[in-house]
Structure 1
Amino acid sequence: MEPTPMGRDRGHRALSAEEKTQAREVSLRRIGRLFTPHRPALAAVTAIIVLSSIIAMATPFLLRTVIDRALPQGDVTLLVWLVLGMVAVAAVTSALGVVQTWISTKVGQQVMHRLRTDVFSHLQRQSLGFFTRTRTGEVQSRITNDIGGMQSVVTSTATAVAANLTTVVATAVAMVALSWQLSLVSVVVLPPAIWLTRRVARMRREITDQRQRELADLNVTVEEGLSISGVQLAKTLGTGPALIDRFTASSARLVDLELRSELAGRWRMASMSIIFAAVPAVIYLAAGLPGTAGTLSIGTLVAFTALQGGLFRPLMGLLNVGVSLTSSLALFARIFEYLDLPVDVADPAEPVRLDPARVRGHLRLEDVTFGYPGSDTAALAGITLDVPAGTSLALVGETGSGKSTLAGLVSRLHDPNGGRVTVDGVDLRDLRLADLAAIVGVVSQETYLLHTTVRENLRYARPGATDTEIEDAARAAQIHDLIVGLPDGYDTMVGSRGHRFSGGEKQRLAIARTLLRDPRILVLDEATSALDTETERAVQRAFDVLAEGRTTITIAHRLSTVRDADQIAVLDHGRIVEAGTHDSLLNRNGRYATLAA
């Protein structure tokens, strides 16, 4: 049951080679912009790095003086001062290094925080269509694995570039000052180092992209196989062994990708170590040749080889930054892909201010048309309805007739392609989403409860609600007595997705949650269709309390629950084919009468 490539990329179109190149260029600019708000801190870090590098370059010159003057001449006073100078250089550079690490880490973590929150906030604004096209595990993987994979680059790239570049430049200057002839010999390491680095960088980027996709697949398997619904499904269908095989295969592919990535870097490091180890030998050879013998002091030679050996770490660090940045572009491209997603249902640029406490709840749909993306058939066409404040509308029809789609337009889960939906004469698209959520409350068939206490599940609808208000809402929803009978009362954990409660109990908790918000318009989307008769009666009584004084839209398969509605609209293939009261529709002997039979 290994996921197919199509399954892995569901909802995401593959990029062409040209688009990948463009994505890379955009990513480099955008990566730089992530650090723009932190310019003062980065300037301070750069200054510290430059100062530290300059101070550190004093050590080889102190060493040369020790070998060429203090020791041969037996000058103890000079030797003591030189040794103290070496210790002071080490102490100052170490202290500066601590300050630099603190500032750079703080900047990096702030950038990571901004990335995480920006992605989460942007995805919260996406319409339901995005989440129906995208696997939950894929979304989680991008927020955790992809952004987590960026951490080393984001937190250390800028400082690593500045530190290593400054050290390399300062070391090179010091080497030239000691002996420009030997400096030319050291330059031979650069061409192979750059060539190997570019090759490894390209390889690492390809492997990183494959690894993140594999991690997303692994997350999907965990989400689908270890959620309580997934476990129940696996146990009832006997698919547990197949899920284990799928997880094992995905994990094994990750092992292979990690090995390939690490080996690519190790081979490069081994090759560079050999090259850098050979250079001092060449320098000693050059210093001892007949043409150059005696032109260099022992102190100069020792100091130079010490500098040349110290060049290996910053030069490799600088090249490693290039490798890390290139390989991490695959991560940035995946994150920027989410950040660039258009928001289908967004707040208006100039919202109409509508006080939820003063809304009457007069709802109108005016020649509304809507079609789902990718579908050639309209889900709703030419819908016109007028629901006066405080009255009830029932929507009935066969499955797929457009009832839930219409309800989704009222709560603005979607925007109509044509026509408009208004509350008290104001187009819903002109309202802030937060204001609309305070006006329209929804209770659906599938009640979602958070993995926390009963109290916090109810308070989720209104964070400022007092315990007394929570209990009053629970009493109105006829669920208070059951809650106080639980082991910890309102502080009882509901469990994953509320599976410790029955369907009717979850529905009444949802009603209590909605009562706390006190919306003027209420949408009941087949909220009792999966309940037994006795439970349905209890929930219906709670609904009656909830609906008092509110404009109510009820969607139901059981027509007995909507017979008292002020008006009933019968939908068929996205169109209203009949409308009226229960008795008038029965007398017409049309579609409604057929459904009621």
Structure 2
Amino acid sequence: MPRPPEISREQRARDREQAKQVSLRRIARLFAPHRSSLVVVIAVIVASSVVGMASPFLLRAVIDDALPHRDVRLLVWLAAGMVAVAAVTAAFGVVQTWISTRVGQLVMHRLRTDVFAHLQRLSLGFFTRTRTGEVQSRITNDIGGMQTVVTSTATSIASNLTTVVASGVAMVALSWQLSLVTLLVLPPSVLLSRRVARLRRTLTAQRQRELADLNVTIEEGLSIDGVTLSRTLGTGDALVSRFTDSSLRLTDLELRSQLAGRWWMATMSIVFAAIPALIYLGAGLPWTVGALSIGTLVAFTSLQAGVFRPLSSLLDVGVSISASLALFQRIFEYQDTAIDVDEPTDPVDLPAPRGELRISHVSFAYPGADRKALDDVDLCVPAGSTLAIVGETGSGKSTLGALVARLHDPDAGRITVDGVDLRDLRLADLAGIVGVVSQETYLLHASVRDNLRYARPDATDEEIEAAARGAQIHHVIADLPEGYDTVVGPRGHRFSGGERQRLAIARTLLRDPRILVLDEATSALDTATERAVQEAFDRLADGRTTLTIAHRLSTVRDADRIAVLDHGRVVESGTHSDLLETDGRYAALAA
């Protein structure tokens, strides 16, 4: 079995530093909304522990009083008391489990939804830098790995701690001399548990990274695009080998994580078992005979076992919490990721936007890029007019469209709609004003109807059909086996590229935005279909502001104005005929 590379000293230090950054107070805040429920749980735990402490004393009375004196009536009452104690503690246990599990699941639910909602607000740059499988792994595997700790840790600590304290008090009441013997094992137990916790935490961090890599392999290898790529390149065997190696490394890490410190813990278990034996041995020595009654001795050793079990559980919980800090750190890292494109502090309302678009001296550069994607772009698109953006690949056309849709914010300058900066509009309001049809069409693995209704959940079937007709796709949908209820398949692979493009166009038509951003929207269409869809766009653009980003100049001839981008700068601007007459960059593109 291949073993993962040994964890370097630097990696261990980094993992420890990351774990330190996870404040236990921050974790405790997750439980703040459930204070009342936790108080009830703690009360139930205390009551259960107090009631449970009656059992050793009942046992001592049976051995020292009821049995030697053959007191049947007392024996019956003591036996009934033992059964009653067991019944009450069992009932308390059911209530405790129900409340604690409910609180834990609600905390998990909040954590999952908060992370998902925060990720939804992050910029495209984050998802460009981060592998999809990595994001999925943190939401599912990392949060799932916390479930036991979140669900049962708080109640386990309270229950075991209460039991240890109550048992300790009862042991002192029975024999303070024997209680001192029990205390001898506590210091080495704590020291060993701390050592195991550090080892388990490091292994947990490495295991989660390996699990994320495994998820990435699954995402890349089993998606429609991934399978198509591996089949056409003949890399299936290499992909299987990569998955196998990753899975074997994960298996080894799981084993090492589970077995971490088990020999130490096993040694402590032997010590815990040896102490009662030593007590029995000591009680039978000639010079100690008669110092303790048999009932007291049996009751004490019973209490001692009741102390060692929760004490071991407490130590194990401490190890689990320490290991879980690696998981919390990974989740909090996402929650703490800065939001580049955020909601405005004082949003401005545009109840009836006209659609005047102004791009004022806008510059933008992608993080880590050597040059600006856009450099001092200054354009104005009057309401209801059409501006076409053309240029060679890499000139900044799609970046400009992304800025208009506020998928990014400019580094300098501003973009306004009717004089209002896009950064002053609520993101939901802006999405209702600006509609985007891009060259990369994404469809959900759902029915055609659901894909179209995704743009406007309250749309009627008639409105959905009208939008499909406008995008010249209704006849294709009608010929499907289940019509609009046909499932499109993963990423819409059931349809051709042109059909997917027209479904995306229909989705935008359904929203009826005031400003349209068409980023190579007809690039995947054949000439006849492109002509039909262009007619639909012409009808839609009537009275609306349209920003058309195109590579094929045939689609922009009739635009009110054309701007030519080159290396992020506007080098020419004018109508089709004027630009041809200047015999400049546009004329060279049209040649």
Range with greater deviation from structure 2 (84-93 or 309-318): 309-318
2:66 maps to which residue? 70
Contact 1:119 1:339 in 2 (8 A): yes
2:154 maps to which residue? 158
Of 271, 275, 283, the match for 2:279: 283
1:100 maps to which residue? 96
Q: What is the CA-CA distance between 1:25 and the residue it aligns to?
A: 4.6
Of 370, 391, 394, the match for 1:397: 391
What per-residue deviation string (whole Å, max 9, x for no partner) do you get for residues 108-158 of structure 1?
A: 011101110010000000000000000000000000000000001111111
Q: Provide the C-alpha distance between the structure 2 equivalents of 1:435 and 1:168, rounded to a whole number of angstroms.
A: 58
2:316 maps to which residue? 320
Of 573, 580, 592, the match for 2:567: 573
Q: What is the CA-CA distance between 1:536 and the residue it aligns to?
A: 2.3
Whether 1:342 aligns to 2:330 is: no
Task: In structure 1, give the amino acid aligned to 2:128.
Answer: T
What per-residue deviation string (whole Å, max 9, x for no partner) do you get for residues 277-296 of structure 1?
A: 10111111221233322110
1:124 maps to which residue? 120
Contact 2:22 2:328 in 1 (8 A): no
Q: What is the CA-CA distance between 1:441 and the residue it aligns to?
A: 0.3
Q: Provide the C-alpha distance between the structure 2 equivalents of 1:27 and 1:334, rounded to a whole number of angstroms.
A: 13
Q: Percent identity?
A: 74
- Give 3-state SS (helix, strand or coil) of 2:23's partner: helix
Q: Provide the C-alpha distance between the structure 1 equivalents of 2:586 and 2:240, rounded to a whole number of angstroms.
A: 50
Contact 1:453 1:490 in 2 (8 A): yes
Of 446, 455, 465, the match for 1:452: 446
2:210 maps to which residue? 214
Of 547, 552, 561, the match for 1:558: 552
Q: Provide the C-alpha distance between the structure 1 equivalents of 2:430 and 2:261, rounded to a whole number of angstroms.
A: 54
Contact 1:440 1:521 in 2 (8 A): yes
Q: Provide the C-alpha distance between the structure 2 equivalents of 1:308 and 1:223, rounded to a whole number of angstroms.
A: 52
2:253 maps to which residue? 257
Range with greater deviation from structure 2 (51-60 or 474-483): 474-483
Q: Which runs of 5+ in 2 are unaligned?
A: none
Q: What is the CA-CA distance between 1:253 and the residue it aligns to?
A: 0.3
2:469 maps to which residue? 475
Contact 1:507 1:539 in 2 (8 A): no
What per-residue deviation string (whole Å, max 9, x for no partner) do you get for residues 471-524 of structure 1?
A: 111111111121111100110010010001011111111111111111000001
Q: Provide the C-alpha distance between the structure 2 equivalents of 1:542 and 1:174, rounded to a whole number of angstroms.
A: 85
Q: Provide the C-alpha distance between the structure 1 equivalents of 2:292 and 2:536, rounded to a whole number of angstroms.
A: 97
Q: What is the CA-CA distance between 1:265 and the residue it aligns to?
A: 4.8
1:244 maps to which residue? 240
Q: Provide the C-alpha distance between the structure 1 equivalents of 2:23 and 2:215, rounded to a whole number of angstroms.
A: 25
Q: Which runs of 5+ in 1 are unaligned?
A: 6-13
Range with greater deviation from structure 2 (197-206 or 286-295): 286-295
Whether 1:266 aligns to 2:265 is: no
Task: In structure 2, give the amino acid aligned to 1:286.
Answer: G
Whether 1:184 aligns to 2:180 is: yes
- Give 3-state SS (helix, strand or coil) of 2:185's partner: helix
Contact 1:504 1:539 in 2 (8 A): no
Contact 2:444 2:492 in 1 (8 A): yes
Task: In structure 2, give the amino acid aligned to 1:116.
Answer: R
Q: Provide the C-alpha distance between the structure 2 equivalents of 1:467 and 1:163, rounded to a whole number of angstroms.
A: 57
Q: Provide the C-alpha distance between the structure 2 equivalents of 1:482 and 1:544, rounded to a whole number of angstroms.
A: 21
Q: What is the CA-CA distance between 1:16 and the residue it aligns to?
A: 9.3
- Give 3-state SS (helix, strand or coil) of 2:68's partner: helix
2:401 maps to which residue? 407
Q: Provide the C-alpha distance between the structure 2 equivalents of 1:65 and 1:197, rounded to a whole number of angstroms.
A: 37
Q: Provide the C-alpha distance between the structure 2 equivalents of 1:269 and 1:543, rounded to a whole number of angstroms.
A: 72
1:587 maps to which residue? 581
Task: In structure 2, give the amino acid aligned to 1:167.
Answer: T
Contact 1:511 1:546 in 2 (8 A): no
- Give 3-state SS (helix, strand or coil) of 2:472's partner: coil
Q: Compared with structure 1, are the counterparts of its residues 16 and 83 closer, same or farther at alpha carbon in structure 2 (3 Å cutoff)? A: closer
- Give 3-state SS (helix, strand or coil) of 2:20's partner: helix
Aligned residues: 585
Q: What is the CA-CA distance between 1:267 and the residue it aligns to?
A: 2.2
What per-residue deviation string (whole Å, max 9, x for no partner) do you get for residues 192-237 of structure 1?
A: 3212211111111011001000000000000000000000000000
2:294 maps to which residue? 298
Whether 1:441 aligns to 2:416 is: no
Q: What is the CA-CA distance between 1:573 and the residue it aligns to?
A: 0.7
Q: How does 1:220-239 map to 2 (within 5 A)?
A: 220-239=216-235
1:27 maps to which residue? 23
Whether 1:84 aligns to 2:84 is: no
**TM-score by structure 2 length?**
0.97
What per-residue deviation string (whole Å, max 9, x for no partner) do you get for residues 392-441 of structure 1?
A: 00000011111111111100001111111000110000000000000000
Task: In structure 1, give the amino acid aligned to 2:80.
Answer: L
- Give 3-state SS (helix, strand or coil) of 1:72's partner: coil
Q: What is the CA-CA distance between 1:378 and the residue it aligns to?
A: 1.3
1:11 maps to which residue? none
Contact 2:15 2:205 in 1 (8 A): no
Contact 1:404 1:525 in 2 (8 A): yes
Range with greater deviation from structure 2 (547-556 or 212-221): 547-556
Task: In structure 1, give the amino acid aligned to 2:249.
Answer: R
Contact 2:445 2:488 in 1 (8 A): yes
1:38 maps to which residue? 34
What per-residue deviation string (whole Å, max 9, x for no partner) do you get for residues 449-469 of structure 1?
A: 000100000000011111111
Whether 1:530 aligns to 2:537 is: no
Q: Provide the C-alpha distance between the structure 1 equivalents of 2:280 and 2:322, rounded to a whole number of angstroms.
A: 37
Q: Provide the C-alpha distance between the structure 2 equivalents of 1:229 and 1:442, rounded to a whole number of angstroms.
A: 24
Q: What is the CA-CA distance between 1:15 and the residue it aligns to?
A: 8.3
Q: What is the CA-CA distance between 1:543 and the residue it aligns to?
A: 2.5
Q: Compared with structure 1, are the counterparts of its residues 20 and 576 closer, same or farther at alpha carbon in structure 2 (3 Å cutoff)? A: farther
Q: Provide the C-alpha distance between the structure 1 equivalents of 2:342 and 2:515, rounded to a whole number of angstroms.
A: 21
- Give 3-state SS (helix, strand or coil) of 2:443's partner: coil
Q: Compared with structure 1, are the counterparts of its residues 240 and 512 closer, same or farther at alpha carbon in structure 2 (3 Å cutoff)? A: same
Q: Provide the C-alpha distance between the structure 2 equivalents of 1:313 and 1:521, rounded to a whole number of angstroms.
A: 68
Q: Compared with structure 1, are the counterparts of its residues 165 and 350 closer, same or farther at alpha carbon in structure 2 (3 Å cutoff)? A: same
Contact 2:149 2:324 in 1 (8 A): yes
**TM-score by structure 1 length?**
0.96
1:9 maps to which residue? none
Q: Provide the C-alpha distance between the structure 1 equivalents of 2:12 and 2:363, rounded to a whole number of angstroms.
A: 35
Of 487, 504, 521, the match for 2:498: 504
1:173 maps to which residue? 169
- Give 3-state SS (helix, strand or coil) of 1:381's partner: strand
Q: Provide the C-alpha distance between the structure 1 equivalents of 2:192 and 2:269, rounded to a whole number of angstroms.
A: 12
Contact 1:392 1:565 in 2 (8 A): yes
Contact 2:59 2:295 in 1 (8 A): yes
Q: Provide the C-alpha distance between the structure 1 equivalents of 2:331 and 2:264, rounded to a whole number of angstroms.
A: 29
Q: Compared with structure 1, are the counterparts of its residues 492 and 419 closer, same or farther at alpha carbon in structure 2 (3 Å cutoff)? A: same
Q: Provide the C-alpha distance between the structure 1 equivalents of 2:92 and 2:574, rounded to a whole number of angstroms.
A: 80
Task: In structure 1, give the amino acid aligned to 2:568.
Answer: G
Q: Provide the C-alpha distance between the structure 1 equivalents of 2:538 and 2:227, rounded to a whole number of angstroms.
A: 36
Q: Compared with structure 1, are the counterparts of its residues 345 and 396 closer, same or farther at alpha carbon in structure 2 (3 Å cutoff)? A: same
Contact 1:444 1:527 in 2 (8 A): yes
Of 352, 359, 365, the match for 1:365: 359
Q: Provide the C-alpha distance between the structure 1 equivalents of 2:275 and 2:143, rounded to a whole number of angstroms.
A: 40
